[in-house]
Amino acid sequence: MPAQTSSLNGSAFDTFRETYIEINLDHIAHNLHSIRAMCGPQTKIGAVIKADAYGHGALELADTLTENGADLLCVATLSEALALKHQNPAYPVLIMGLTRTQDFDFLIQYDIIQTIDTLSQARELNACALRSQKTARIHLKIDTGFHRIGFPANEKSLEEIAQIAALPGLQIDGIFTHLVLLDDASNAQQFAAFLQMKTRLAQNHITIPCWHIADSIASVDYPEYRMDMIRAGAILYGLKGFHKGSLDIRQALQFKTRINHISTVKAGEGVSYDFTWRAAHDTRIATLPFGYADGYPRSLNGKGMVTIHQKRVPIAGIICMDQCMVDLTDVPEAQLGDEVTIYGDGSDNSLTIQEISQLAGTNKNDIVSRLTRRPPRIYTRGQKPVMVRTMLD
Ligand SMILES: *Cc1c(COP(=O)(O)O)cnc(C)c1O
């Protein structure tokens, strides 16, 4: 029996399933051009594509990003960096987290830029580089108050950085810190501590070419924090978390499925595990083939809604691992096979990622980065599918 295909599938783009994630590559390119227009030609753009590009697909977005002005691809882990380098050894990749010293040879072999936050790590990496007769590229991380990773912003660290700068196997490409984003005063305090490090390093005749502090929110809200590079994550994908500035960006991701079963539940009967939902009257119930194992928050039990025929329809009962049920009372015209937007960009009355994150009591990045590999991704340009990623890829 041939697989039923979604509206976006041609035979070359089969998803083997009704549930899919649509990623608009034109929107990603548009967002990058807006970010470039915002920060000007002098400031580099580090495109943050950790966590599989926040669920959008890091390998699938990498070329769109580098072709539209991203200067660096930023990830969190060595495995994320290696996956990119296996696709194209020429991608410029920065690991913003720490890497185990026993894995340092990979950094050198694949020319991956590594974040360093202790003198001992720097010495280990230097030794690996010299053994291979190569130079390892690094960014130094400074802790200006977040208390995650980084050299403390103090005199002892300045001495250690001077020692690192003298190591022959290392090249210091950049130096960065990360904002807590509590309020203007705390941001200003962190920025001042970072600038103080810059002044003190200059007094010690140590110049580092790329200074960076701003993530998405800071780069829009605080133009003076853009420095030599911004690290843009959320805004690449069209997710707006900023408050003061403005930036013309478009959400790239939509999550869709189709009704694949309809039943009538009699008044008083329940739906799904534990019967947390019971029919107040005879009710048409649609079953949708997506669940929490696709990355939809199970915490939306009793709160989640999807959009069918431009109407918002409540989820009925507990969300299962692979399926969930919705109450069709307000959409009598709904039929088997009808399209459902699980969440979208707000068009056709769809719930946005912003709304879903509020309902789930979390942030937008958490909603998209939790999307698993199981739902196929369909990538579009000019409204047409150009690439598909399924579990088989
Ligand atoms: C994830 C991350 C970013 C990007 O954050 P957004 O808020 O998505 O822009 C920037 N810098 C570091 C160090 C990060 O870990």
**Residue among 215, 220, 225, 363 whose CB has most ligand 1 atoms within 8 A, to mutate:** 215
Residue 211 has a pLDDT of 98
Q: What are the catalytic residues? A: 50, 273
Residue 194 C-alpha to ligand 1 middle, in angstroms?
17
**Segment 74-96, tens digit of pLDDT:** 999 999 999 999 999 999 999 99
**Residue among 35, 39, 48 whose CB has most ligand 1 atoms within 8 A, to mutate:** 48
In 3D space, the residue among 76, 17, 78, 16 whose CA is nearest the CA of residue 256 turns out to be 17
Lowest mean pLDDT among 256-265, 370-379, 383-392: 383-392
> What mean pLDDT comes out for the span 348-359?
97
Residue 74 C-alpha to ligand 1 middle, in angstroms?
9
**Segment 41-55, tens digit of pLDDT:** 999 999 999 999 999
Residue 365 C-alpha to ligand 1 middle, in angstroms?
10
Query: Would the CB of 179 count as within 6 Å of ligand 1?
Result: no
**Closest Cα to atom 6, ligand 1: which residue?**
233
Counting atoms of ligand 1 from 1, which one is nearest the CA of 235?
9
> What mean pLDDT comes out for the span 296-313?
97
Q: Which two tokens stand for residue 216?
A: 């998405």
Query: Is residue 249 scored above 60 in pLDDT?
Result: yes
Query: Would the CB of 142 count as within 6 Å of ligand 1?
Result: no
Residue 135 C-alpha to ligand 1 middle, in angstroms?
27
